[in-house]
Amino acid sequence: MAQINAVYYVSDSNEFIEEKAEKMATGLTAKPWQEMPEAEKQESFAYKGKVVSINEDPSYGEGSIVTISFPVAYEVPDFPSILTTTYGRLSYEPNVKLLDLQFSNDLVERFPGPLYGIEGIRDLVEVEGRPLAMSVAKGAIGRSIDSFHEQMLAHSYGGIDIIQDDERLFEHNWTPYEQRVPAGLAAIAEAAERTGRTPLYVVNLTGKTFELKERAREAIGLGAPALMLNVYAYGIDVLQGLREDPEIDVPIFAHSSLTGMMTRSKQHGIASRLLLGKLLRMAGADAVLFPSPYGRIGINPEEAQRVKDQLTMTTQMKRAFPIPSAGIDFQTIATVRQDFGEDVIINLGGSVHRYKGGVEAGGKAFIEALNNAN
């Protein structure tokens, strides 16, 4: 039987923590009621959560680190069921935060993991030995397709490795993806005649949930070389479904929009290392955008490193690119490279757009700063 150990930070007083931990274990799984026949009670108890350990961790201050083991009776790679089991009812508790889920190997093997991962994306952009440079088509919202083409052209001439649609660029009349994808690719091809380089264009996949697979196939049919999904706006199961579709055979970039409500509190919610690191990699993300530790909306440096570690540590799955985002400017590039190493995508959006010489000059300055940031 597959097994999951869930690790929680319980910020209540340590008094009565054993009793609380036991209630957590039974309340989330099988808690027979008094009138149930004894034989049925024993069957139910076979699937009850078990308290593995209760420890103190000074880095969290007061409270306890509680580990509970859950037998996974259904043995299917199903994140909605797993998260409902390990945190569903507890999500109403103000003083319990889910820090980690530790999966038995037989369960991990049933999740897809990245299709391309770090090495595959490097092959697509033909860049080794340094972090990759990414910028965002920020000026496309509310603008025409011609304006979008010019912006993509400027990014491409600037030498950017990866150009991403803004996560708020939805299917509006001014830039429907039926026009946006060909216009972006035409700009990239035009610039490549002079530069000899082809950046990776990441197309924002949006629409109603049950239409997403078809929309993804259509975008790929138009030539989209990579897709981006606002994962937690749709649900992590949607990401896994896209990854497991054999016709959706391009890298998938996962955006962390909406996760702040689940990760920001120290006493409640789900830790970034799990929500943005381990789970997204298991579900099939090739690269993950998450709040950098350098801006006002960022996560703390220690947790950012834990996200990076979950995405890049050596396991049976391919490694996924971390993309710390927001709060990064030209002065921060060297710090990002020092903190995250070579296998990171550095994301400069506003700084490239605001550059005094325009987007093309901003892109060139970005690459120069990246090459000098050793």
pTM of the entire predicted model: 0.94
Nearest by Cα to 189 from 177, 178, 197: 197
Is the predicted pLDDT of residue 33 greater than 60, yes or no? no
The CATH number that domain 2-108 falls under is: 3.30.70.150
- Residue intervals of the chain classified under CATH 3.30.70.150 are 2-108
Q: How confident is the model at residue 36, as a pLDDT?
A: 61
User: For 241-246, what is the mean pLDDT?
Assistant: 98
HSE, CB side, 13 Å, CA atoms: give it for residue 300.
7
Q: How confident is the model at residue 70, as a pLDDT?
A: 86
The DSSP 8-state label assigned to residue 41 in this structure reads: H
Which class in CATH covers the domain with range 117-372? alpha beta
% the chain with pLDDT above 70: 93
Integer Cα distance of 49 and 27 in angstroms:
9
| Least confident segment among 67-81, 146-160, 258-272, 303-317 | 67-81
User: For 4-27, what is the mean pLDDT?
Assistant: 88
Q: How confident is the model at residue 206, as a pLDDT?
A: 93
Report whether 5 contacts 28 (CB < 8 A).
no
| Least confident segment among 8-12, 75-79, 227-231, 251-255 | 75-79
Q: How confident is the model at residue 44, as a pLDDT?
A: 66
Considering the chain, what is the average pLDDT of its residues?
A: 90
Is the predicted pLDDT of residue 47 greater than 60, yes or no? yes
- Residue intervals of the chain classified under CATH 3.20.20.110 are 117-372
User: For 104-117, what is the mean pLDDT?
Assistant: 94
| Least confident segment among 60-64, 298-302, 343-347 | 60-64
Is the predicted pLDDT of residue 245 greater than 70, yes or no? yes
In the chain, beta strands by DSSP E: 2-10, 50-55, 64-72, 96-103, 132-137, 162-165, 200-204, 226-230, 252-255, 269-270, 287-291, 321-325, 345-347
List the beta bridge partners of residue 289.
255, 323
Q: How confident is the model at residue 40, as a pLDDT?
A: 65
Instruction: Output the six-digit token pair for 202.
Output: 């990441």
Query: Tokens 């924002």 map to which residue?
Result: 204
